[in-house]
Amino acid sequence: MASMDSNLKRCCVDRLTSLHDDLLTRILSMLPTKDAAATQVLSKRMKQSFCCITSIDLDDSPISYCVERHPHLVERFSLFESFVDNVLHKLSLFQQPLTRFRLHLGGDKKILARSYYKGHRCKKDCFPDPQPTRLYTWISYPLAHCGLRELDLSFHVRNPCEYKLPPELFVSQSLEVLRLGSNLEINNETDFLVICLPNLKLLHLHSFELADDDFVTRLVSSCPALEDLSITYCWWSVLDCVIISSHSIRRFALVIFNYDDEMKNSDLVLIDTPNLEYFKYTGNVPHKFSFAHMNALVEAYMFIEYPLQFDTLLPSFRVQLSLAKALSNVQQLSLLGILPEIFFFAAELKDQLPTFHNLRFLKLGSLLNKFCSGRWDIVLLLILQCSPLLETLIFPEGFFEHSSSKFVSDLPDDVEAATLEADGWRTIERIPSCCKSHLKKIVISYCCGCDQEVNMMKFLLGNTSVLKEFVICLPIKNRIPCDGVRSEAPNFDQYEKTIEELPRASNSCSIIYCSEPLYPTGAL
């Protein structure tokens, strides 16, 4: 009994308040501010420790503030406003140094990004409507503190034209990390901004409306220590020139879509980042790409959605070819959208395709153009021949986008699809060298069960001598594809049996079946 009382007494010891002041403050600074504030009810010492926190984390980001659907959120945001006002007022009385400040309100970042990608903005009543002076005070609060190293602001308001960003936002000697997301417009008034961020290493911009493309150029050039740059889901009202020049940047993600017309092509995309190690680009084919040599590039993710408008296909593919040449030193590569089709036009481009001497990992999107959709015999062979050291090959969308057994049969009459048959593959004179000595893993994320698809697998299994894993992701029966039409899945029991009977060049190859893609389209 005495032993039980002793154990109970040990369990009831207040170990939190017995910690050293510095350690207790550090723990509270790592918590969301609402949780750290709640600890004040525990003791007087916890109240004192809360006032010494060096990190503020304020988050009120529901998916939607729509009054009709979620009337309780109006009251909830009023409580959030009062809480933020009280916290910032209390902490300002103690004048403690502040190293990190995070404020999120008015929508989840992933939901907003998905909305912007689909080409529309949220309705006005989806966002909160704080007083402009109050929001300005919140944003300005961390800028008045010395020692600020990380600033993370994401706010989407109902009437963005009534709000302005504090000019001090882009002037800081100590700031190292800056994340900004908002539906405010960065307009021509930014020409008068003083931009000075000498120690900034990470800059992420998302969801802004950019009325002046020169602002981003000036911002990047004012960050001499910048290593990580991300400009995603920002809508460009003017798409004349997108110019990014920096010798310090190591990681760069750029997503370009025009606000008024998602199919519009920019005039010039100039990337001068010779020390880049990771590059992600999503957008349409610009009229001109200009790249500095990227000899240090390790990973690249490329998604080109629309070709040049009102023009023939060849100029579009010439631009994409210049992009492919700039990526020739990459080790891990994703080619999605219309990019794989440049290999179909290799003959017209006079065999100018680059050789990817260092490429080990490749994700390859399905062929989208109706004239190329049945010509994997040309496209895949050229890709493999250009990748002599390739070890892993991923088809994140399968061989045919949202494919069905009748997809290839719908090709125009002037497109010769006979080479998709097994006899067509047998006429190949030279098997790519990577198939003989390097290619060890192949993943097909979506299957349709058609004969053309089986012939593709027959070629890969029959000509890849060192293959270890052949992964096939079979769809769920009666799944609904993106076009909304419900289709009955084929008999995959017979399909699996057919695949198991295909000849294999590698005696150690294992065929693995799964129901979920191992490599989603958006991940490298």
DSSP states of 245-267: E-SS--EEEEEEEESS-TTPPPS
Measured CA to CA, the distance from residue 503 to residue 446 in angstroms comes to 22
Q: Could you report the per-residue pLDDT of 206-226, keeping only the tens digit for each? A: 887 776 667 888 899 999 999
Measured CA to CA, the distance from residue 433 to residue 465 in angstroms comes to 10
Residue type, 217: T
Q: Could you report the per-residue pLDDT of 79-118, keeping only the tens digit for each? A: 889 999 999 998 888 878 899 999 998 765 555 554 444 4
Strand partners, 179: 152, 204
Q: For 259, phi and psi rounded to 5 degrees?
A: -65, -45
Q: For 252, phi and psi rounded to 5 degrees?
A: -145, 125
468: which 2 tokens? Answer: 């270890």
pLDDT band of 477, cuts 50, 70, 90: very low
Strand partners, 334: 301, 363
Measured CA to CA, the distance from residue 159 to residue 130 in angstroms comes to 9
How much is the pLDDT for 237?
A: 63
Percentage of residues in the chain with pLDDT exceeding 70?
72
Residue 339: which residues within 8 A CB-CB, separation 6 or more? 302, 303, 304, 320, 323, 324, 365
pLDDT band of 16, cuts 50, 70, 90: low
SS3 call for 215: helix
Highest mean pLDDT of the ranges 132-146, 157-171, 483-497: 132-146
Q: Where are the domains of the chain?
A: 27-238, 328-524
Measured CA to CA, the distance from residue 379 to residue 367 in angstroms comes to 9
- Quick check: 283 pLDDT over 80? yes
- Greater pLDDT, 522 or 59: 59
- Quick check: 146 pLDDT over 90? no
Measured CA to CA, the distance from residue 211 to residue 376 in angstroms comes to 42
Q: Could you report the per-residue pLDDT of 402-452, keeping only the tens digit for each? A: 443 333 333 334 333 334 444 445 555 678 899 999 999 999 988 877 777
One-character DSSP codes across 63-94: S---TTT-THHHHHHHHHHHHHHHHHHHHHTT
How much is the pLDDT for 118?
A: 43
Integer CA distances (angstroms), 492 to 12, 253, 395, 473, 480, in order? 60, 39, 19, 11, 17
Is the separation of the CB atoms in 205 and 234 below 8 Å? yes
pLDDT band of 481, cuts 50, 70, 90: very low
From the list 138, 52, 135, the residue with the least C-alpha distance to 88 is 138
